[in-house]
Amino acid sequence: MLDTKTPQQGSRHGRWALRQPVFLIGFMGAGKTSVAQQLAVTRGLMSVDADEYLELQEDRVIADIFAEEGEEAFREKETEVLRDLAARVPRLIGCGGGAPLRAENRAIMHDAGFVVYLEVTADEAAARIPNTASRPLFKDLDTARRTIVDRMPRYEEAADAKVSTVGRTVPQIADEVADILEREGVLCRA
Ligand code: S3P
């Protein structure tokens, strides 16, 4: 599991606002959801996990959408969710690990907001994911290693900024993301 201890919590007190949606992308286990939640708590921002949002809409878990309708149907739904969230009030959006694979999705994210790529290795991702059965595409370590290498160019292409998560805690990663967003004028004091 990714370490979520927060020794520095509260050091960035005050009210903050996002000027545009922020899409957190990266492989499964990169910490997209945890980092979005950490920033939501420490900066008082809205956050949403795109997969959870889809599960709520569908009243079934992602693994069941894959099992019942297949990956392509899931990808269509994922694109609709991204389009929907991109048009809403700016918030932190934790994206599914495969979201940047479609050019259409990369365009939605790029046109609407700012994209942060959280980098992780397959080994560290596997250690962080407690239940890979909930991730239909996280089959085994060797496949995960190959998939990360295959996807890397798409992640890089989609990203406005890149942050390494290897060996780091959620608060450390979240603080670096916040610093980047502040520097880029995406995150500002309200
Ligand atoms: C996927 C990642 C998952 C989920 C689905 C497909 C992928 O999201 O969208 O299982 O293709 O990498 P997380 O990255 O949040 O686990």
Q: How many helices (H) and strands (E) does the chain have?
A: 8, 7
Cα(96) to ligand 1 centroid in Å equals 4
What is the spatial distance between Cα 182 and Cα 175, in angstroms, rounded to a whole number?
10
Q: Name 187's bridge partners.
A: 18
Q: Is 53 in the pocket of ligand 1 (CB under 6 A)?
A: no
CB 16 within 8 A of CB 177: no
Answer yes or no: is the C-beta of 100 below 6 A from any ligand 1 atom.
no
Instruction: Give this prediction's pTM.
Output: 0.93
Q: Is the pLDDT of residue 24 over 90?
A: yes
Choose which residue among 2, 28, 150 to substitute to test ligand 1 binding: the one with the highest number of ligand atoms within 8 A of its C-beta: 28
The helix (H) or strand (E) run that includes residue 22 is strand 22-25
Q: Is the CB of 44 under 6 A from ligand 1?
A: no
Tokens matching residue 35: 């980092």
CA of 190 to the centre of ligand 1 (A): 33
SS3 state of residue 36? helix
Burial class, 6, CB count within 10 angstroms (exposed 0-12 / middle 13-18 / buried 19+): middle
Question: Which atom of ligand 1 has the smallest separation from the CA of 135?
Answer: 10
∠ CA 141-145-146 to the nearest 5 degrees? 120
Is the shortest distance between the CB of 51 and ligand 1 below 6 Å? yes
Q: Token pair for residue 71?
A: 């990956």
Q: Is the CB of 137 under 6 A from ligand 1?
A: yes
Output the pLDDT for position 134.
Answer: 84
Burial annotation 15-52 (CB, 10 A radius, 16+ → b, else e)? ebebebbbbbbbbbbbbbbbbbbbbbebbebebbbbbe
**pLDDT, tens only, 27-82:** 999 999 999 999 999 999 999 999 999 999 999 999 999 999 999 999 999 999 99
Q: What is the pLDDT of residue 136?
A: 85
The reply to whether ligand 1 has any atom less than 6 angstroms from the CB of 62 is: yes
**pLDDT grade, residue 8 (50/70/90)?**
very low
